[in-house]
Amino acid sequence: MMTSSWPKIILFGDSITQFSFGEGGWGAFIADKLQRKCDVVNRGLSGYNTSLAKLALPRLLPKSQIPQVSVLTLFMGANDAALEELYPQQYISVSSYVANMKAMIDYLQEGGLEASKIVLITPPPIYGEGWKKHCQTTYGVAQNRTNANTGLYAKACCTVAKDLGIEVLDIYTIMQQEPKWERYLLDGLHLSPDGNQFLGEQLWKMLEPKTRDLPMQLPDWKDVDPNNPEEALLK
The CATH number given to whatever domain includes residue 216 is: 3.40.50.1110
Residues labelled as active-site residues = 15, 187, 190
The answer to whether residue 218 scores a pLDDT higher than 90 is no
The answer to whether residue 3 sits within a structural domain is: no
**For residue 2, is it within any domain?**
no
187 domain-assigned? yes
Please check whether residue 43 lies inside any domain of the structure: yes
1 lies in a domain? no
Cα separation, 43 vs 182, whole angstroms: 26
Q: What kind and span of H or E run contains 119?
A: strand 118-121
Tens-digit pLDDT profile for residues 96-131: 999 999 999 999 999 999 999 999 999 999 999 999
C-alpha 139/C-alpha 136 separation (Å) is 6
Number of domains in the chain: 1
Range of the domain at 148: 8-233
Instruction: Mean pLDDT check: name the lowest of 30-44, 186-200, 221-235.
Output: 221-235
| Helical residues (DSSP H) of the chain, grouped into ranges | 15-18, 26-33, 50-60, 94-110, 128-134, 147-164, 171-176, 193-211, 229-233
Confidence of residue 3 (pLDDT cuts 50, 70, 90): very low
What pLDDT shows up at residue 4?
Answer: 54
Query: Does residue 144 lie in a domain region?
Result: yes
Q: What amino acid is encoded at 120 in this protein?
A: L
56 part of a folded domain: yes
Helix (H, G, I), strand (E, B) or coil at 70: strand
Q: pLDDT tens digits for 153-209?
A: 999 999 999 999 999 999 999 999 999 999 999 999 999 999 999 999 999 999 999
